[in-house]
Chain A
Amino acid sequence: MNSKSIRNLFTAPMLVSFLVFGTMPFWIDAIGLYQYLGLEVMIWVIFALAVNLLLGYTGLPSFGHGAFLGIGAYAFGLTQFNIAANLWVSLFGAVAATAVLGGLVAAFISHRRGIYFALMTIACAQIFFFIASKWTDVTGGEDGLLNIQRLPLDLGLAEISIKSNFNLYYLCFAAYVIIVVGMWRLVNSPFGKIITAIKQNDSRVAFLGYNVWLYKWIIFTLSCAISGLAGALFAMAQEGAYINIMSLQWSGIVILIVLIGGGFISFWGPVLGVIFYFLARDILGAYTEAWLLWFGLIFMLMVMFKPEGLAGIWQDAQLMFGRRKEAPQACPEPNHAGGD
């Protein structure tokens, strides 16, 4: 691999994120936060990146993605209980189950776009939500699926326990690294160009001879599979799978996180959004019970005045301080996805 292809594989913001997240467990206590928060941030970053693959890159607003996070969590628990108590098997079970169900949903909705797409994802997610909340024998219903184990990480030569939040964090971090590198590669590949084109004008892509339906189906299924992985990690973090993450409200909140971060204009928007959300939860939450009220107001202001989100503010700041040359993609058109 020559140096140019290495440069294409890794970018400066990516390395910064690896540095920050890679060292987080060592300084997070020092700044007054706690290890479990880091774990939550890492898992939700993976989930938000998966959502942004649809929302930011393909222009498909999935308002029901929380369902797939939940399905991943339940599938992880059920594989662990019923098939094999092995980490790899259970993770595979979670990803496979969400990919299959996501693929099924995608088959129903891939010919749609815009708001109708959003409404159909809500309907499908609500169906999964009701099944999960009523099929008590399998999912535990309102109580959730309890006692999910943090299975030991079997690397062939050695077996590492991930019972501590610290060790589990590094498993999540490893997943993050793989997903970020893979996703960056994907969105900058010819495939990525086509999904971005679908966002801008899907009829024109169809006229060029591409099978738009198939591209939408692939990207939706892929996004669901990654959400399923995040769900499996979340099940281990919480040591259980609960119904609340499948609710419509959570699906909405993840969209809100992606947008606040600036998923429409930047690959890194969802990452910023997740950090912002969890910091807001802990800082505002320390002062008031009704922190969601203030978070909602911040969100409304953001949609009104800066729909490009935190990433947009960052780009503006870079322009203002005259670092125009280094500024990544000054975003000549509002709908351009793909700056770094």
Chain B
Amino acid sequence: MVDFLLNLLPHLLNGVALGLLFALLSLGFMLIIGVMEVINLAHGSLFALGAYFAVMLMGQDGGIPLAFMQSYYELPAVPRYIIALIVAPALVAVVGMGLEICLRRTYGKDPLYGLLLTFGAALVLEEVIREIWGPAEYFLPLPKAIRGGFFFGDMIYSNYRIFAAVFAMAMIGLLWAFLNRTPYGAVIKAGAHDSEMVRVLGYNLSRLRLYVFAFGAALAAIAGIIMAPIWGVRPHVGVDAVIPAFVVIVLGGVGSFWGAVSAGLLVGMVVALTAAFLTEWSLLSMYLLLLVVVTFRSRGFAGKASALEA
């Protein structure tokens, strides 16, 4: 029994790392649902784009073959990685802003139009990635400090998973503080609650929406960069990412921060544990979980009524 639990431990840790990353990804998704009332099906593509930009900024295989970039690639790996973690999400945020400008024409209509527009955008972004980087898989090079593994008892455990879990936890904490302890966060939350009222109070709603979309896109990109060494970087990774994000949101309930975090952890655990015992079926478990929970609790763990039910 003790042996069994010890064997289970790495899978549980994997589950936590995966779950925190799912939570980070879904929080960006949820911010966009809250303020824009749009299901952003392109969220996974922004996630993938973040990973590709990071590969580009880290050099090696996917680098930009320009002279001035070569001297940049000679920097040590750690500063390059930090720069990638900042610049890639910023680039994705710009793409997100472009998408938001396209989305403006769907506001106030059936939410289905927003969903369809972002589905089209996801299709386009995936093809753009295929055009630029080709269908082959890339690997994101990592600094030495977070590569490799360590022994825990007599088991090897990957350093990177620990890094990913800690980083995701820190990001979630920062995001919580941003939303709950700053005036900007208050405006975003108010926008999610009643965007018309925010406009009446004199805030520029269009600009708020633009920034929130950019912010959500940047969160997707950060999740993409952190997930890249675990899942690999290929054009189709966007679809693999957007589905867990929506499962987490529906499970946790739209509009609930901790609902999303706990649902993210639950989905991560369930996927990791089924992967340990029934590798083939690991992704199926997520949907079964969703069906069971939603059959009994129609708004997930902590959801409130939202525009999505209209």
A and B bound? yes
Query: Contacting chain A: which of B122-130, B156-164, B179-187?
Result: B122-130
- Whether the Cβ atoms of A108 and B291 lie closer than 8 Å is yes
**Once the chains are docked, how many angstroms separate the CA of A33 from the CA of B76?**
57
Q: What are 25 A-B pairs with beta-carbon distances under 8 A?
A: A108-B295, A114-B308, A114-B310, A115-B115, A126-B283, A127-B284, A127-B287, A127-B291, A134-B284, A248-B239, A249-B239, A252-B41, A252-B119, A255-B119, A259-B116, A293-B128, A295-B123, A296-B120, A296-B121, A296-B127, A297-B124, A299-B123, A303-B120, A304-B105, A304-B106
What residues on A are CB-neighbors of B246 within 8 Å? 119, 122
What 5 A-B pairs have minimum CB-CB distances, sorted nearest first?
Answer: A293-B127, A296-B123, A296-B124, A115-B308, A300-B120
Cβ of A130 within 8 Å of any chain B Cβ, yes or no, is: yes
Cβ of B275 within 8 Å of any chain A Cβ, yes or no, is: no
- Whether the Cβ atoms of A300 and B291 lie closer than 8 Å is no
- Whether the Cβ atoms of B112 and A127 lie closer than 8 Å is no
**Once the chains are docked, how many angstroms separate the CA of A217 from the CA of B294?**
18
Cβ of B117 within 8 Å of any chain A Cβ, yes or no, is: yes
B287's partner among A126, A296, A304, A305 (CB-CB below 8 A) is: A126
- Extra A-B contacts (12), CB below 8 Å, given A249-B123, A300-B120, A307-B113: A61-B115, A114-B308, A118-B115, A126-B284, A126-B287, A127-B284, A130-B284, A290-B130, A296-B124, A303-B106, A303-B120, A307-B109
Find residues 287-339 in chain A having any chain B CB closer than 8 Å to their own CB. Answer: 290, 292-293, 295-297, 299-300, 303-305, 307, 335
What residues on B are CB-neighbors of A305 within 8 Å? 105
Residue of B nearest to A293 (CB): B127
- Whether the Cβ atoms of A256 and B131 lie closer than 8 Å is no
What residues on B are CB-neighbors of A146 within 8 Å? none
Residue picked from B127, B239, B298, most chain A C-beta under 10 Å: B127
Minimum Cβ distance to chain B for residue A122 (Å): 7
Cβ of A163 within 8 Å of any chain B Cβ, yes or no, is: no
- Whether the Cβ atoms of A127 and B123 lie closer than 8 Å is no
What residues on B are CB-neighbors of A304 within 8 Å? 102, 105-106, 117
Residue picked from B112, B247, B250, most chain A C-beta under 10 Å: B112
Cβ of B281 within 8 Å of any chain A Cβ, yes or no, is: yes
**Once the chains are docked, how many angstroms separate the CA of A81 from the CA of B105?**
51
What residues on B are CB-neighbors of A335 within 8 Å? 110
Binary contact track B234-259/A, C-beta < 8 Å → 1, others 0: 00000100010011001000000000
- Whether the Cβ atoms of A123 and B308 lie closer than 8 Å is no
The contact size tier of chain B is 35 or more
Cβ of A281 within 8 Å of any chain B Cβ, yes or no, is: no
Residue of A nearest to B128 (CB): A293
What residues on A are CB-neighbors of B284 within 8 Å? 126-127, 130-131, 134
Cβ of B63 within 8 Å of any chain A Cβ, yes or no, is: no
Residue of A nearest to B130 (CB): A290
What residues on A are CB-neighbors of B39 within 8 Å? 115, 118-119
Cβ of A113 within 8 Å of any chain B Cβ, yes or no, is: yes
A290's partner among B41, B109, B131, B247 (CB-CB below 8 A) is: B131
Cβ of A177 within 8 Å of any chain B Cβ, yes or no, is: no
Residue of B nearest to A120 (CB): B294
Minimum Cβ distance to chain A for residue B275 (Å): 13
**Once the chains are docked, how many angstroms separate the CA of A162 from the CA of B283?**
40
- Whether the Cβ atoms of B288 and A61 lie closer than 8 Å is no
Minimum Cβ distance to chain A for residue B240 (Å): 10
Cβ of B290 within 8 Å of any chain A Cβ, yes or no, is: yes
What residues on B are CB-neighbors of A252 within 8 Å? 41, 119, 123
Residue picked from A115, A255, A295, A304, most chain B C-beta under 10 Å: A115
Residue of A nearest to B105 (CB): A304
Cβ of A116 within 8 Å of any chain B Cβ, yes or no, is: yes
- Whether the Cβ atoms of B291 and A123 lie closer than 8 Å is yes
B121's partner among A112, A249, A300 (CB-CB below 8 A) is: A300
What residues on A are CB-neighbors of B74 within 8 Å? none
**Once the chains are docked, how many angstroms separate the CA of A143 from the CA of B117?**
33
Minimum Cβ distance to chain B for residue A215 (Å): 19
- Whether the Cβ atoms of B115 and A126 lie closer than 8 Å is no
Residue of B nearest to A136 (CB): B280
Residue of A nearest to B249 (CB): A119
- Whether the Cβ atoms of B281 and A134 lie closer than 8 Å is yes
Find residues 260-306 in chain A having any chain B CB closer than 8 Å to their own CB. Answer: 290, 292-293, 295-297, 299-300, 303-305
Cβ of A87 within 8 Å of any chain B Cβ, yes or no, is: no
- Whether the Cβ atoms of A116 and B116 lie closer than 8 Å is no
**Once the chains are docked, how many angstroms separate the CA of A115 from the CA of B294?**
14
**Once the chains are docked, how many angstroms separate the CA of A61 from the CA of B131?**
31
Minimum Cβ distance to chain A for residue B214 (Å): 19
Cβ of B309 within 8 Å of any chain A Cβ, yes or no, is: yes
Cβ of A124 within 8 Å of any chain B Cβ, yes or no, is: yes
Cβ of B229 within 8 Å of any chain A Cβ, yes or no, is: no
- Whether the Cβ atoms of B281 and A130 lie closer than 8 Å is yes
Minimum Cβ distance to chain A for residue B101 (Å): 10
What residues on B are CB-neighbors of A134 within 8 Å? 280-281, 284
**Once the chains are docked, how many angstroms separate the CA of A130 from the CA of B291?**
15
Find residues 274-303 in chain B having any chain A CB closer than 8 Å to their own CB. Answer: 280-281, 283-284, 287-288, 290-291, 294-295, 298
- Whether the Cβ atoms of A123 and B287 lie closer than 8 Å is yes
What residues on A are CB-neighbors of B62 within 8 Å? none
**Once the chains are docked, how many angstroms separate the CA of A299 from the CA of B121?**
9
**Once the chains are docked, how many angstroms separate the CA of A159 from the CA of B284?**
44
A61's partner among B112, B281, B287 (CB-CB below 8 A) is: B112
Minimum Cβ distance to chain A for residue B70 (Å): 29
